[in-house]
Each structure stands twice: as structure tokens, then as C-alpha cells.
Amino acid sequence: MPSLPLLLRFPALARIPRVALGDFPTPVQRLDLHDETLRGELWIKRDDLSASPLGGNKVRALEFLLGDLKPGDTVLTAGGEGSTHILTTATYVRALGGVTHAVRWKHEMNPSALATEARARAITARTHTLPGPISGLLRAHLSRRPTVRWIPPGGTSPLGMLGHVNAALELAEQIARGELPVPKRVVLPIGSGGTAAGLALGLAIAKLDIVVAGARVAPRIAAGRMRVLSLAERARRFIERATGASLAKVEASRVEIIHSVYAGAYGRALGAADVSTALLARATGLRLDGTYSAKAFAAAYESALRNPGVTLFWLTFDGRDE
């Protein structure tokens, strides 16, 4: 198993069980939007290509969350009805010989969410669907058993965030190799917050002065800056306890939340994202999802349109088999 940048920097973390699911590093590329004039450069981090048969950002967390899963084990997780986290978890739990039980809750659905829901339902051993997130989370916690592995929504836990800390260190290595210039900001969707928190911590560890800008796709209470900073602090303390290292805290100025792309409800597509989504499709053939990545790319495009320097769009959604 090739060594991850995280494990090279913190060898003590190699004691934590991990299963190799992904193909890392994921590539970076500069986007050419043809006749579009941008003040800055727009680049993309292709986490859609992180694994096969299904990529996306969740694979990074699952390498640690499923590290010692055995055939026949049961995993319980939770999320929205159109959750890519549930789909990705069920995909790789099944590949490892386990079974997935999912507690879901209803929300507004767009075409990509409907497709994700159908794919997840087909490979999930047991599914319970509740009216909303409060009742869904309550049902999930009441369903927890000592013999069942619990993975929280989005895979957002200090253990899962190790995968995203590693992603930032992976990006630092790509910058050092000259594969892309140093971005001024990394733009990605923010739902449960684990990816943004892990990236912010990893960039701080790498001493890179890059802002993590989360395009909010969920209510403020679940996707605000204080939550991201709190999650980053939990991951920092986890690494310190596991390694004995002393790590600096993530500065609040290194995390921004972009509220303008929130469509008013989780899962509701943003009509204003249609133009930028079409530009990306024409330039690259990439497809985005209406819940997360289309909103984040709209924010990244706006950033590059108005600001000098490099904006890096972190593509968290695998649209190859949507």
C-alpha cells in the first residue's frame, strides 16, 4: 500500500487501520472555459476520479472509517434521502463483504439526488426513511448497537477527517512538484463540514496560506464557519493524541462560508448555477450534481471571474455513472 503524505508526516498514524479504496493523488487541471474572460485562473481538483467504481470525496474518509471491516460486518450510517455519503458507504461496505443499514430523512430532491437515492437503495440491506433530520438522527442513534459499526452523516468524525487532512497534504505535494500554482482559495461544497475542516487543518499543517471557502448547501447550523473550525479542532486534537505532535490551530481567517449559493433548502437545485454548470460541461464534459457540486462550482466560477490569483474548485461528486 503506497504511503500517504499524512503517514509520511505522522508515522504513528500508520497504526490506525486503513483499507486502500482510492487511487491517489487525484489529478489537478487548469480549466479553459474558451471565450470566458476571468480575472484569475480557475483550476479543478479531480476527486471525482478518487476511486472505482465510485469516486468522490467520501472515499477518503471511508479508507479510515472502514479500515478494519470484516466480511459479514454490519455498518449503520445516516444522511439525507439523496445522500452520496450513503451511496459511497454502501458501495464499499459491500465490496468489503459487509452490509449497510441506512437511516435517511426526506428533503427536496433534484434529478441527481433521485438517481443517487435509487442506486443507494438497491445496495443497502436495510433502509428507514424519516420525515426530517431530527427524527432521522434520533432513529439512527436509537438503532446503534455494540455489534454494529456506526458511521456518522457524511463520515464526519476525527477518524474520517484524517482522509481530508491527507488530501490537503497531497495538494501541497502537487504544488511543490509544480503541477499547479498556489491557490488563493479552495472552493468546495459544505454540508456536514468534514471535508472542509480536514482540508483547512491539512493546509495549516503544510503551512500554506490558502483559504478554504465552503459553498453552503445546508442550513447555517450544520454548515457554518464555527462548525468547520470546531471540527478542525477535534481533528487536530485527535492527531496530537495519536502522535504526540504539537499542531497549530486553524486560524478563523482561513475558513470562509459562501452563503450566496444556498438555494433555501437542502437538496434544492440552484437555478443560478445552470450557466456555470453548462460552461463546465462544454469545456470538459463533466457533470455536476444539483445538491452539492453545481453550487460549489458556481461559487468557484464567480471567484475566478472577480478575483485575481488561482481559485481551485474541489470536485467532490463523481458524475461518471449518474
pLDDT recorded at residue 248? 93
Look at the chain and count its residues.
322
Angle 59-18-128 from CA coordinates, rounded to 5°:
50
pLDDT recorded at residue 222? 85
Q: Which residues contact 176 (CB under 8 A, 6 or more apart)?
A: none
DSSP symbols for 192-250: SSHHHHHHHHHHHHTT---EEEEEE-S-HHHHSHHHHHHHHHHHHHHHHHHH----PPP
Residue 313, Cα to own-chain centre: how many angstroms? 12
Walk along the chain (322 residues) and give the pLDDT tens digit of each residue: 558 999 999 999 999 999 999 999 999 999 998 777 899 999 999 999 999 999 999 999 999 999 999 999 999 999 999 999 999 999 999 999 999 999 999 999 999 999 999 999 999 999 999 999 999 999 999 999 999 999 999 999 999 999 999 999 999 999 999 999 999 999 999 999 999 999 999 999 999 999 999 999 999 888 999 999 999 999 999 999 999 999 999 999 999 999 999 999 999 999 999 999 999 999 999 999 999 999 999 999 999 999 999 999 999 999 986 5
Q: Which residues contact 269 (CB under 8 A, 6 or more apart)?
A: 110, 263, 290, 291, 294
Three cell numbers written together for 89: 458507504
Q: Which 3 state secondary structure label does DSSP give 59?
A: helix
132: number of Cβ within 10 Å:
11
Q: Which 3 state secondary structure label does DSSP give 140?
A: helix
Residues in a beta bridge with 79? 104
CA distance 37 to 245: 45
Residue pair 12/242 in contact by the 8 Å Cβ criterion: yes
CA distance 7 to 162: 10
CA distance 270 to 253: 27
Run of H or E residues at 111? helix 111-123
Dihedral sign for Cα atoms in the order 132, 133, 138, 141 = positive
Three cell numbers written together for 301: 466560477
For the chain, list the domains and their CATH numbers.
5-57+157-315 (3.40.50.1100), 59-155 (3.40.50.1100)
Residues in a beta bridge with 105? 80, 130
Residue pair 113/82 in contact by the 8 Å Cβ criterion: yes
CA distance 195 to 160: 9
Distances (CA, A) of 214 to 7, 42, 211, 256, 306: 26, 16, 10, 6, 17
Q: Which residues contact 282 (CB under 8 A, 6 or more apart)?
A: 34
Q: Rounded to 5, what percent of the chain is helix, strand, coil?
A: 45, 15, 40
Place of cell 437555478: 271
